Amino acid sequence: MNNKLYKLMNWPEIEEIIYSDGDDPHRILGAHKMGNSYLIQTFLPGAQKVLIRIEGRANDVEMEMADDAGFFAALVPYREKMKYRYIATDENGVEYESADPYAFPPLITREDTIRFGNGTLYHAFEKLGAHPMTRDGVKGVEFAVWAPDVARVSVIGEWNNWDGRFHQMQQVDRSGIFEIFVPYAKPGNAYQYEIKTKRGILYKKTDPFAFRLKDVHGDVSIITEDPEFAWTDDAFLAGRRKFKKNEAAVSIGEIYLEDFAAWHSQNSKGKERANCHDIAADVISYVKKCGYSTIVLLPVMEHHVANPYEVTGYFALSETVGTAADLKYFVNELHAAGVRVLIDWAPVTFPAKDMGLACYNGEALYEYGGDKGIQPHTGYHIFDYGRKQVISYLLSNAIYWVDTFHVDGFRFPDIAKVIYLDYDRGPGGWTPNVYGGNENLEALEFFRQFSEIMHKRDAGILTIVRETACYPQVTAELEEGGLGFAFKVNNGWSEDFLRYLEHDPIRRSGAHNELTFSLLYCYTERFLLALGSDLLPGGVRSLMDRLPGDEEAREAGVRQAIAYMYTHPGGKLLYAGAEEILGRDSRLPVMIETLEKIYEKEPALHVLDRSEDGFEWINCMSRDECMLSFLRKGKKASENLVVVANFAGVEQEFIVGVPNDGKYREIFNSDDKKFGGSGTVNRGTIEAHRRAEDGRLYSINLKLAPLSLAIYNYTPYTEQEKKIRAIKEQDEIKKEEERAEKLAQLKRRKEKEQEKLLEDLKLRYEKELAAQEKAIEEKYAKIEEERVKKILNSKKK
């Protein structure tokens, strides 16, 4: 080897490269100015010969092999902005060409690393991950990954035969972020990161920021490009910002895209496997049939085959959904149809998967260390909310779905699992926070930070959360000390209601409080009522399977259950299932669409939905009749609705107290024939009677079919009707008075007749008594006379 070249080379650092033990290969590899020359070094394992082809120079420069492991070096004259490539020959004599990865400095700046480290790099997905680009005329891919406290990180893939000795990455500013530009890597290539710990253990990991994963387990990342797309939803997004969560009618249809894909494949001659682009029209048809204003998609991120909530790639679009272009088209079409699109998002736990986030750098990184980082019973890892880089990861993930795909919000799984340190843990199985409490203060701060960022970006972005341990103020505003979520799923209502419905109607009287208990707390949060896939995995069919009775009774029970949800305070969420709605014989969507229109049209069902002023019981005590009646109230009395439900298994007639005199009309009955019922309805105008019932002066007479619910609107009398009504009432009062007078006269006449009868009876009695006394006296006088005669005759003898 050239003596000058030999002296310029740093052999300890070269050895670090050869043994793949360093975190700064750029310090050695590439071109480095040495006086009037460039020292160019490269490590190409398996290469037998390497030439440097310098742009603008006629002859190639052959490099010297400094180590037979594949380390080459050469000195070339210095030239400003010199561009060069390697021409290498491998051990099989095959020649290949490549630009030098180490000729490209990192793109991640110190500011980026600082913001990533303090939890505010909200567009981290633009910096980390794999990004195809062209640098200095060279096409390739920029890779960056966060893996602190390790000896070395390499990107491995198809282009380097999955060999971690190639493309060793540079740690940027001691931040734990490793970066490299790989020439000629391209979209569609599979890749992983090979991470070598300081103990010398090798791990192969997928890219946490990968936009695509491959194979059934999602163990390999795929380089993708964000496709250009001509969005046409500006007007929709502008309108979204005006959403009023306290007054709006919020109805959500839960969608599992794979349901629709399967239905599409069975009922069309299209692709064998449909994606979200293919089924957009089907979903819109479903939404229009039901009248939903919003849908929520079960996880669209890459997930475990058996469990859609076991997310394996938070930025990776599931292969079953389609490409990024497909999802953009889908959302754009739904927005054109006036429908909001929410997605399930799980920044709570992630699976203990070897190739995934778990122990990413050989130890707990994205998750808490020790038992705190493992959720009991499931074994899933809990995100480390105290590590700011994890916060950057999660927040940027949410922003990615909003910015890239224009989604309108998120639904969270049960956050109680992470906001309580003792959740599912026995005594001694958890460590209190700094104040001695059981709250995970870091998790709570994360959720508040998430809400603050989303509110600032767009107040119309909906956030729905499940929280099963009754943490207070989940939906309260941040200024009030709350977590700032838009809606909280009312788990108590769902569980109590379904449990009540499972009782045979003849035994429901003993479970009446399961119907009424929710009204004691339903205004403590901004609640969302949910009959979703978590409770009803088969949609409507699962609900039917839980109900007692024959097919007809169970169908009636389904109709009543859905109708009751729509009239109970709170937003609405329903998972019906694609087959139930798109099937030609189904009449359920007709009923849901009718309820949706009523829900949207009638202010009483939503304008005071988050206020106690919007609800009033009429009768919640008739447990033996299995009936309920209540008022849903608007801001004006004329907006009020009367709701009556018959949960018994028999037809019943009710006298229902109403708050106002006036006209009532049945605007909905779940037993209507057009919904599949028997047709027991109350048609026409129902006038209130001045007859006290349920503590009210007026009442109406109704007949309800078994397992049915009806809604009645109220119309006050017009002035003319009031006058006519007053005249009628006066006539009725006069007739009543006349009737009362006649009754009084009759009563008086009867009283006189009774008095005369009594007098006659008395006189008759007295006469009879006098006659009896006279007869007795005469009898005794005669007896005495006879006795005296006998005595006198005796003396004469």
pLDDT at 115: 98
Q: Which amino acid is at 241?
A: R
Give the tokens for residue 32: 């480095």
Q: How far apart are CA 381 and CA 357, in angstroms?
A: 9
Nearest to 491 by CA among 462, 463, 470, 519: 470
Phi, psi of 717 (to 5 degrees): -70, 145
Exposure letters 499-523 (e unless 16+ CB within 10 A, then b): ebbebebeebeebbebbbebbeebb
**Which sign does the torsion angle of CA 244, 249, 253, 254 carry?**
positive
Q: Is 9 exposed, middle or buried (0-12, 13-18, 19+ CB in 10 A)?
A: middle
Please indicate, yes or no, whether the overall pTM of this predicted structure exceeds 0.85.
yes
Helices (H), 253-365: 257-267, 276-290, 324-336
How many C-beta atoms lie closer than 10 Å to residue 774's C-beta? 10
Phi, psi of 317 (to 5 degrees): -75, 130
Residue 564: in which H helix or E strand, if any? helix 551-567
Residue in this structure with the two tokens 């341990």, named with its chain if needed: 469
Q: Is 738 exposed, middle or buried (0-12, 13-18, 19+ CB in 10 A)?
A: exposed
The dihedral region occupied by 167, where left means phi > 0, alpha psi between -120 and 50, and beta the remainder, is left
Cβ–Cβ < 8 Å for 451, 465: no
Q: 64-67 and 71-77 as β-strands: parallel, antiparallel, unpaired?
A: antiparallel
pLDDT at 311: 92
pLDDT at 583: 59
Cβ–Cβ < 8 Å for 376, 370: no
pLDDT at 739: 84
Q: How far apart are CA 517 and CA 495, in angstroms?
A: 12
Q: Is 36 exposed, middle or buried (0-12, 13-18, 19+ CB in 10 A)?
A: exposed
Q: How far apart are CA 340 and CA 621, in angstroms?
A: 40
**Which sign does the torsion angle of CA 288, 294, 300, 306 carry?**
negative
- Regions in the chain scoring below 70 on pLDDT: 1, 215-217, 269-271, 306, 578-585, 797
Q: How far apart are CA 239 and CA 209, in angstroms?
A: 31
- Alpha-carbon Rg for the chain, nearest whole angstrom, is 42
CA 234 to chain CA centroid, Å, is 25
Cβ–Cβ < 8 Å for 629, 643: yes
Q: How far apart are CA 240 and CA 462, in angstroms?
A: 10
Question: pLDDT tens digits for 382-423?
Answer: 999 999 999 999 999 999 999 999 999 999 999 999 999 999
C-alpha pair distances (Å), 126 with each of 131, 132, 143, 340, 537? 8, 11, 11, 26, 37
> What is the four-CA torsion angle of 574, 485, 396, 330, rounded to 10 degrees?
30
First to last CA, the chain: 195
pLDDT at 797: 65
Q: 251-255 and 571-574 as β-strands: parallel, antiparallel, unpaired?
A: parallel
Instruction: Give the list of residues 6+ apart from residue 662 with CB closer than 8 angstroms, or none.
Output: 687, 688, 714, 715, 716, 717
Provide the β-strand partners of residue 712: 642, 666
Exposure letters 69-85 (e unless 16+ CB within 10 A, then b): bbbbbbbbeeeeebbbb
Q: How far apart are CA 465 and CA 485, in angstroms?
A: 7
Question: pLDDT tens digits for 182-200?
Answer: 999 999 999 999 999 999 9
pLDDT at 217: 64
Question: pLDDT tens digits for 331-390?
Answer: 999 999 999 999 999 999 999 888 899 999 999 999 999 999 999 988 999 999 999 999
**Which sign does the torsion angle of CA 523, 527, 531, 537 carry?**
negative
pLDDT at 485: 97
Q: How far apart are CA 533 and CA 540, in angstroms?
A: 10
Give 717's Cβ-side CA count (13 Å radius): 14
**Which sign does the torsion angle of CA 665, 671, 675, 677 carry?**
negative
